């Protein structure tokens, strides 16, 4: 249905707007003819299209404002903020450990990376970076690399969906579900894990986790070639992606772009190699680059990075085999959560040994438990910058402490937020359909953009 908006059909949820620039069409599908004929009456090729924020092709609640001359985009602007939930502000009113449960909800496709960036910032403030147990570091790497795979799968899947390649979408989500099953076994949740915490990780690996990881790796080794077979030389796929969304190295650096987009220009900037953190220097893997600086190159990089992540996961699993029973949380009892919780018969997480200890054996342990759980720990005043290489690029957490039990300020340098700035540079001068491909190749996650 198409209609020229007038006073009688005013939007009941908005104030009456005064449109001076021309007629306004509300497009709801199957009505292109009436738009074209309506525009023809006004004898102008220039159309301003408001795409989104509720649109299946905009990769989330992203609003794109496109100025078109015919099919050519002359200007593109992004409108964001539709998913702003004030997570950073909320974190200032919870203690340092609880902050993990907030930042894990920012970018819902890469929760472990957000937890890791935050944990790294807090650990640097506490000065305990060297005291994190090895097993916790290996588990972090394992989870982050699994998460990189699940995130890249969604990037490829939704990117395929948006250009109409439905099979790419279905197989992408099929494999991602397997990955989330692994997360569920290890952390208890498919998303929003709050698993990586300042001082280590919250739980030891459950029984059978490494077998499940091994199964997933061998499954992915069978499935990943399917993506290559389906897409790499597919003429339709290449016609949509090759030379689309071009952004060269100078453009990337000026606009602050990192991750697969930067690596698609041929520059091998990957923080895991350049500024190794959390034990990444001990793993054997390659940084994947491409030299076409277009959407096709970014697709190829993402697929190849999944192979590299599988390599790292295998090395992690091998190391974890020999680490059974080792601690996963820092030994400092003023920071580390005292109990190893397990799901009891009542479905609640608790630790019977710990309850016996604090309720029946040691008054001091009870006091200590109470203080740590209700008050949390204090973090010496100062500021720190915790950085990780997320699936989308440089993810950093700028944490400021005033010496209290809660973050004074936690700001996330979100790669989706920064990368989205490149959308106009990538899509202006191209076709409308290429805007979708360009944005999909940036892979912004609006939960992270808006926070």
Partner 1 sequence: MTAPADDSSEGGHSEAERRLHERTRSDDAGTSPDEPETGTTPRGPERDLGVREQMPENTVAPVDPGGGAATFEVVGVREGMFGVDGTGDTSGYGGLRRPVVMPGATQRPFGGWFDEVADQLASGLRQTGTGDVVERVVVDRGEMTVHVRRGHLLATVRQLRDDAALRFEFCSGVSGVHYPGDRGRELHAVYHLLSMTHNRRLRLEVSVPDADPHIPSVVSVYPTADWHERETYDFFGIIFDGHPALTRIMMPDDWPGHPQRKDYPLGGIPVEYKGATIPPPDTRRAYS
Q: Dihedral of the CA atoms 318, 320, 323, 325 (nearest 10)?
A: -140
**How many other C-beta atoms lie within 10 A of the C-beta of residue 5?**
15
Pairwise CA distance, residues 307 & 94, whole Å: 38
Output the smallest distance, CB 13 to partner 1, in A: 14
> Measured in whole angstroms, how far is the alpha carbon of residue 362 from the centre of its chain?
43
SS3 67: strand
Contact track, partner 1, 95-114, x by CB under 8 A: x-------------------
Decide: is 118 part of the binding site for partner 1 (CB under 8 A). no
| Residues 6 or more apart in contact with residue 335 via CB below 8 angstroms | 126, 128, 198, 199, 377
Q: Dihedral of the CA atoms 25, 27, 32, 37 (nearest 10)?
A: -10
Decide: is 124 part of the binding site for partner 1 (CB under 8 A). yes
Decide: is 380 part of the binding site for partner 1 (CB under 8 A). yes
Decide: is 65 part of the binding site for partner 1 (CB under 8 A). no
Length of the chain: 451
- State which of residues 269, 280, 290, 296 lies at the interface with partner 1 (CB under 8 A): 269
Q: Which helix (H) or strand (E) holds 442?
A: helix 432-442
Residue number, 160 or 444, with CB nearest to partner 1: 444
Decide: is 418 part of the binding site for partner 1 (CB under 8 A). yes
Number of residues that bind partner 1 (CB under 8 A): 55
Residue number, 361 or 402, with CB nearest to partner 1: 402
Decide: is 275 part of the binding site for partner 1 (CB under 8 A). yes
Decide: is 406 part of the binding site for partner 1 (CB under 8 A). yes
Pairwise CA distance, residues 278 & 269, whole Å: 17
- State which of residues 394, 416, 438, 447 lies at the interface with partner 1 (CB under 8 A): 394
Stretch that binds partner 1, among 28-36, 37-45, 315-323, 374-382 (CB under 8 A): 374-382
Output the smallest distance, CB 354 to partner 1, in A: 21
Output the smallest distance, CB 384 to partner 1, in A: 6
Decide: is 382 part of the binding site for partner 1 (CB under 8 A). yes
Q: Which helix (H) or strand (E) holds 299?
A: helix 295-321
Sign of CA dihedral 329, 332, 335, 338: positive
- State which of residues 181, 311, 408, 428 lies at the interface with partner 1 (CB under 8 A): 408
Pairwise CA distance, residues 104 & 190, whole Å: 12
Decide: is 126 part of the binding site for partner 1 (CB under 8 A). yes
Pairwise CA distance, residues 26 & 431, whole Å: 21
Residue number, 311 or 378, with CB nearest to partner 1: 378
- State which of residues 384, 426, 439, 445 lies at the interface with partner 1 (CB under 8 A): 384
Decide: is 46 part of the binding site for partner 1 (CB under 8 A). no
Output the smallest distance, CB 450 to partner 1, in A: 6
- State which of residues 256, 279, 338, 349 lies at the interface with partner 1 (CB under 8 A): 256
Decide: is 377 part of the binding site for partner 1 (CB under 8 A). yes
Decide: is 125 part of the binding site for partner 1 (CB under 8 A). yes
- State which of residues 166, 219, 254, 343 lies at the interface with partner 1 (CB under 8 A): 254
Please give the DSSP secondary-structure letter assigned to residue 4. Answer: B
Please give the DSSP secondary-structure letter assigned to residue 16. Answer: P
Residue number, 45 or 375, with CB nearest to partner 1: 375
Stretch that binds partner 1, among 111-119, 122-130, 336-344, 438-446 (CB under 8 A): 122-130
| Residues 6 or more apart in contact with residue 406 via CB below 8 angstroms | 91, 92, 93, 94, 95, 96, 376
- State which of residues 350, 361, 402, 429 lies at the interface with partner 1 (CB under 8 A): 402
Decide: is 234 part of the binding site for partner 1 (CB under 8 A). no
Decide: is 93 part of the binding site for partner 1 (CB under 8 A). yes
Contact track, partner 1, 301-340, x by CB under 8 A: -------------------------------x-xx-----
| Residues 6 or more apart in contact with residue 149 via CB below 8 angstroms | 175, 179, 220, 306, 309, 310
Q: Nearest Cα to 328, choosing from 124, 134, 146? A: 134
Please report, for residues 189, 243, 388, 391, the alpha-carbon distance to residue 111 in angstroms, rounded to integers and kept in the order given: 11, 31, 12, 11
| Residues 6 or more apart in contact with residue 405 via CB below 8 angstroms | 95, 96, 375, 376, 377, 378, 379
Residue number, 66 or 143, with CB nearest to partner 1: 66
| Residues 6 or more apart in contact with residue 307 via CB below 8 angstroms | 224
Residues 174-213 binding partner 1 (CB under 8 A) are none
Chain residues that interact with partner 1, rule: CB under 8 A: 80-81, 84, 86, 88-89, 93, 95, 124-127, 253-257, 269, 274-275, 332, 334-335, 374-385, 387, 394, 396, 398, 400, 402-406, 408-409, 411, 413, 417-418, 420-421, 450-451
């Amino acid at each position: 249905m198409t209609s020229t908006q007038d006073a009688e059909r005013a939007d009941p949820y908005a104030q009456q707007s005064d449109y001076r620039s021309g007629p306004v069409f509300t497009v709801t599908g199957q009505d292109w003819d009436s738009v074209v004929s309506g525009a023809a009456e006004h004898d102008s090729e220039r159309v301003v299209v408001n795409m989104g924020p509720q649109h299946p092709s905009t990769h989330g609640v992203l609003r794109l404002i496109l100025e078109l001359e015919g099919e050519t985009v002359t200007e593109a602007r992004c409108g964001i903020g539709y998913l702003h939930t004030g997570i950073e502000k909320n974190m200032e009113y919870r203690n340092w450990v609880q902050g993990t449960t907030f930042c894990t909800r920012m970018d819902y496709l890469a929760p472990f990376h957000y937890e890791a960036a935050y944990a790294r910032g807090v650990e640097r403030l506490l000065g305990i970076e060297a005291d994190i147990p090895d097993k916790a570091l290996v588990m972090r790497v394992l989870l982050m690399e699994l998460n990189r795979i699940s995130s890249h799968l969604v990037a490829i899947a939704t990117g395929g969906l948006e250009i109409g390649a439905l099979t790419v979408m279905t197989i992408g989500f099929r494999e991602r579900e397997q990955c989330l099953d692994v997360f569920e076994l290890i952390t208890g949740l498919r998303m929003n894990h709050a698993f990586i915490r300042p001082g280590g990780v919250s739980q030891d690996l459950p029984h059978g986790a490494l077998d499940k990881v091994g199964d997933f790796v061998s499954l992915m080794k069978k499935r990943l070639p399917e993506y290559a077979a389906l897409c790499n030389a597919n003429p339709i796929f290449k016609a949509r992606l090759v030379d689309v969304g071009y952004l060269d190295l100078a453009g990337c650096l000026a606009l602050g772009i990192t991750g697969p987009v930067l690596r698609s220009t041929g520059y091998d900037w990957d923080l895991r190699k350049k500024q190794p953190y959390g034990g990444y220097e001990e793993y054997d893997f390659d940084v994947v680059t491409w030299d076409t600086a277009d959407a096709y190159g970014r697709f190829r990089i993402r697929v190849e990075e999944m192979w590299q992540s599988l390599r790292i996961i295998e090395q992690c699993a091998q190391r974890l085999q020999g680490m059974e029973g080792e601690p996963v949380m820092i030994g400092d009892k003023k920071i580390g959560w005292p109990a190893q919780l397990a799901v009891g018969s009542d479905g609640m997480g608790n630790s019977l040994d710990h309850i016996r200890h604090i309720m029946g054996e040691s008054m001091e342990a009870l006091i200590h438990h109470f203080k740590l759980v209700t008050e949390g720990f204090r973090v010496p005043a100062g500021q720190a910058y915790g950085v990780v290489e997320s699936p989308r690029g440089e993810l950093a957490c700028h944490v400021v402490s005033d010496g209290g039990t809660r973050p004074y300020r936690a700001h996330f340098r979100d790669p989706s937020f920064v990368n989205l700035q490149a959308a106009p540079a990538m899509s202006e001068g191209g076709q409308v359909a290429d805007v979708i491909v360009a944005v999909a190749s940036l892979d912004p996650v609006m939960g992270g953009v808006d926070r």
